[in-house]
Structure 1
């Protein structure tokens, strides 16, 4: 009887060891499962922004001065940037600016195209109205983004370009005054996300 108990004990130890290993593997699989991983990264945008700076909201971020934006972007995780882009893409800001046909001369035109996975469409024109020159967008639409700007550039290079102003709307006709800009040199309109340095669309004028 003593011998049979002694023989059974190693098997029992082995069974317990196997049970512990299986349990540990199960816990490991559970921690590494997609569901657990999603819980770790599925952080709402307001929470993510508040971690960067207390009280920071998407509206505050998009309306900040450039220097303040740059400071925040330097410490912003890539996933937070992606969330901002995704949230802004869900919205649109519409504008409709008319331009009288009286005494309007069309100088150059170009069609918008999207860049870096963003949508952009419509027509860009440089027009003369009296003594003033304007850049006009017609039937325009672009994927919305944080703090989009309008640049007139040589060949699409924002670093060498002239910043006109903030984009008035992600959809609709709009006008931008051009003062003393040589449109033969600065021949490409660029829609540019200022805080993240991302090109959204462009139109080459000819």
Structure 2
């Protein structure tokens, strides 16, 4: 009788344990789906893919910067672009041209008319200006206000 009770108890305990594990897997799947949904929402919020922003470059500090800056489909595009030659030119997204609080995007070619940069993971709505900045000389060459 003792063995029968022990076997019955073991069987019930095993059934309960396996049932609980199965329920935990369902919860994990639900949590994974929620996490995926949140990640998609965050990514959608981080980049403004609905509208296009653009602006025309203006030179600053006696430097020449010309052309158009466009943000569309998570990409920053420089069109008809040219700039004064600089030793270390980079493109930044800034708020009103403030480099210290801006987001460095990438190095640019001062004489390449068409350039495209990926903005994946950047919250574009935080910025309103595309700025060309020489990191070595600490000089803003020009900027384009986005509209």
Asked if TM exceeds 0.5, the reply is: yes
Aligned to 2:70: 125
1:6-33 per-position Cα deviation (integer Å, ceiling 9, x unaligned)? xxxxxxxxxxxxxxxxxxxxxxxxxxxx
Is the CA contact (8 Å cut-off) linking 2:84 and 2:110 kept in structure 1? no
1:156-204 per-position Cα deviation (integer Å, ceiling 9, x unaligned)? 1000001111113433110000022222221111110101100001011
Structure 2 counterparts to residues 50-199 of structure 1, below 5 A? 107-128=52-73, 133-199=74-140
The RMSD of aligned alpha carbons is: 1.7
Aligned to 2:5: none
Is the CA contact (8 Å cut-off) linking 2:70 and 2:77 kept in structure 1? yes
Aligned to 2:42: none
- Counterpart Cα distance in 2 of 1:150 and 1:106: 21
- Counterpart Cα distance in 2 of 1:158 and 1:137: 19
Q: Which runs of 5+ in 1 are unaligned?
A: 1-103
Point out 4+ residue stretches in structure 1 off by more than 6 angstroms: none
- Counterpart Cα distance in 1 of 2:52 and 2:135: 28
Higher strand share: 2
**Higher relative contact order (CA closer than 8 Å, sequence separation 6+):** 2
Is the CA contact (8 Å cut-off) linking 2:86 and 2:110 kept in structure 1? no
Task: Give the paired residue count.
Answer: 99
- Counterpart Cα distance in 1 of 2:72 and 2:130: 14
Is the CA contact (8 Å cut-off) linking 1:151 and 1:162 kept in structure 2? yes
Scaled by the length of structure 1, what TM-score is found? 0.46
Aligned to 2:144: 203
Scaled by the length of structure 2, what TM-score is found? 0.63
Post-superposition shift, 1:106? 6.1
